[in-house]
Structure 1
Amino acid sequence: MKPLKVLQLLPALDSGGVERGTLEIARALVAAGHESVVLSKGGRLVAQLQAEGSRHIARDLGRKSPTTFLHYRALRKLFEAERFDIVHARSRLPAWVAWLAWRGMPADARPHFVTTVHGMHSVSRYSAIMCAGERVIAVSDTVRDYLRSHYPPTRWPHLADERITVIPRGIDPAEFPRDYPPSDEWLARFHAEFPQIGQRKVLTLPGRLTRLKGHHDFITLVARLVAEGVDVIGLVVGGEDPKRPGYAKEIRARVQAEGLAGRILFTGHRSDVREIYSVSDCVLSLSSTPESFGRTVLEPLAMGRPVVGYAHGGVAEILAELFPHGAVGKGDVAAATVRAADVIAGRTPVVEHNSRFLLANMQAQTLKLYGSLA
Structure 2
Amino acid sequence: MALPSDFTLLQVVPELETGGAELSALEIARAVTTAGGRALVASRGGRMVSRLEADGGRLVTLPAHSKNPLVILGNAARLVDLIRREKVSLVHARSRAPAFSALWAAQATGTPFVATYHGIYKAKSGLKRWYNAVMTRGDLVIANSDYTRAHVLAEHRIDPAKVVAIPRGVDLDRFDPAHIAPERVDALNQAWGIAPDDRRTKILLAGRLTRIKGHLTIVEAAQRLRAQGRDDFLILFAGDDQGRTDYRQELAGAIAAAGLQEAIRIVGHCDDMPAAFLLCDLAILPTTVPESFGRAAVEPQAMGRPVIAAAHGGTLETVVAGETGWLAPPGDAGAWADALAEAIDLGPAGRDRMGAAAQVRARSLYRVEAMCEATLTAYERVLEARA
Q: 1:304 to 1:95 in 2, by over 3 A?
A: same
Amino acid in structure 2 at the alignment position of 1:79? I
Q: Is the 8 A contact 2:209 2:242 kept in 1?
A: no
- CA offset at residue 111 of structure 1? 2.3
Q: Which residue of 1 is the match for residue 152 of structure 2?
A: 147
Q: Distance in 1 between matches of 2:241 and 2:254?
A: 18
Q: Which residue of 1 is the match for residue 14 of structure 2?
A: 11
Q: Is the 8 A contact 1:288 1:330 kept in 2?
A: yes
SS in 1 for 2:148: helix
Q: 1:134 to 1:118 in 2, by over 3 A?
A: same
1:28 aligned onto 2:31: yes
Q: 1:58 to 1:232 in 2, by over 3 A?
A: same
- CA offset at residue 242 of structure 1? 5.5
Q: 1:97 to 1:258 in 2, by over 3 A?
A: closer
1:190 aligned onto 2:189: yes
Q: 1:100 to 1:322 in 2, by over 3 A?
A: farther
Q: Which residue of 2 is the match for residue 155 of structure 1?
A: none
Q: Is the 8 A contact 1:180 1:278 kept in 2?
A: no
SS in 1 for 2:63: coil
Q: Distance in 1 between matches of 2:201 and 2:16?
A: 38
Match of 1:99 among 97, 103, 120: 103
Q: Distance in 1 between matches of 2:256 and 2:106?
A: 56
SS in 2 for 1:12: coil
Structure 2: gaps (5+ residues): none
Q: Distance in 2 between matches of 1:87 and 1:242?
A: 27
Q: Distance in 2 between matches of 1:244 and 1:59?
A: 23
Q: 1:195 to 1:370 in 2, by over 3 A?
A: same
- CA offset at residue 321 of structure 1? 8.7
Q: Distance in 1 between matches of 2:89 and 2:332?
A: 48
Q: Which residue of 2 is the match for residue 118 of structure 1?
A: 118
SS in 2 for 1:313: coil
Amino acid in structure 1 at the alignment position of 2:95? S
Amino acid in structure 2 at the alignment position of 1:176? F
| Structural mapping, 1:291-370, within 5 Å | 291-320=291-320, 323=323, 325-346=325-346, 350=354, 351-352=357-358, 353=360, 354=362, 355-370=364-379
- CA offset at residue 270 of structure 1? 2.3
Amino acid in structure 2 at the alignment position of 1:160? D
Q: 1:62 to 1:243 in 2, by over 3 A?
A: closer
Q: Distance in 2 between matches of 1:236 and 1:141?
A: 30
Q: Distance in 2 between matches of 1:147 and 1:237?
A: 32
Q: Which residue of 2 is the match for residue 89 of structure 1?
A: 93
Q: Which residue of 2 is the match for residue 65 of structure 1?
A: 68
Q: Which residue of 2 is the match for residue 210 of structure 1?
A: 210
Q: Distance in 2 between matches of 1:189 and 1:114?
A: 39
Q: 1:165 to 1:201 in 2, by over 3 A?
A: same
- CA offset at residue 299 of structure 1? 1.2
Q: 1:92 to 1:286 in 2, by over 3 A?
A: same
1:133 aligned onto 2:142: no
Amino acid in structure 1 at the alignment position of 2:224? R
- CA offset at residue 191 of structure 1? 5.5
Name whichever of 262-271 and 51-60 sits farther off: 51-60
Q: Distance in 2 between matches of 1:200 and 1:344?
A: 9
Q: Is the 8 A contact 1:75 1:98 kept in 2?
A: yes
SS in 2 for 1:37: strand
Between the two proteins, what is the percent identity of the paired residues?
Answer: 33
Q: Distance in 2 between matches of 1:209 and 1:197?
A: 29
Q: Distance in 2 between matches of 1:35 and 1:188?
A: 37
Structure 1: gaps (5+ residues): 153-158
- CA offset at residue 99 of structure 1? 1.9
Amino acid in structure 2 at the alignment position of 1:343? A
Q: Is the 8 A contact 2:200 2:234 kept in 1?
A: no
Q: Distance in 1 between matches of 2:44 and 2:261?
A: 42
- CA offset at residue 303 of structure 1? 1.0
Q: State the TM-score, normalizing by the size of structure 1.
A: 0.86
Q: What is the root-mean-square deviation of aligned Cα atoms in Å? A: 2.8
Per-residue CA deviation, residues 22-74 of structure 1 (Å, 9 max, x unaligned), is 11111101111122222234444444433322343333344322223144345
Q: State the TM-score, normalizing by the size of structure 2.
A: 0.84
Q: 1:196 to 1:365 in 2, by over 3 A?
A: same
Q: Distance in 2 between matches of 1:188 and 1:218?
A: 26
Q: 1:321 to 1:23 in 2, by over 3 A?
A: farther
Q: Which residue of 2 is the match for residue 156 of structure 1?
A: none
Q: Which residue of 2 is the match for residue 175 of structure 1?
A: 174
Q: Is the 8 A contact 2:237 2:264 kept in 1?
A: no
Q: 1:298 to 1:100 in 2, by over 3 A?
A: same
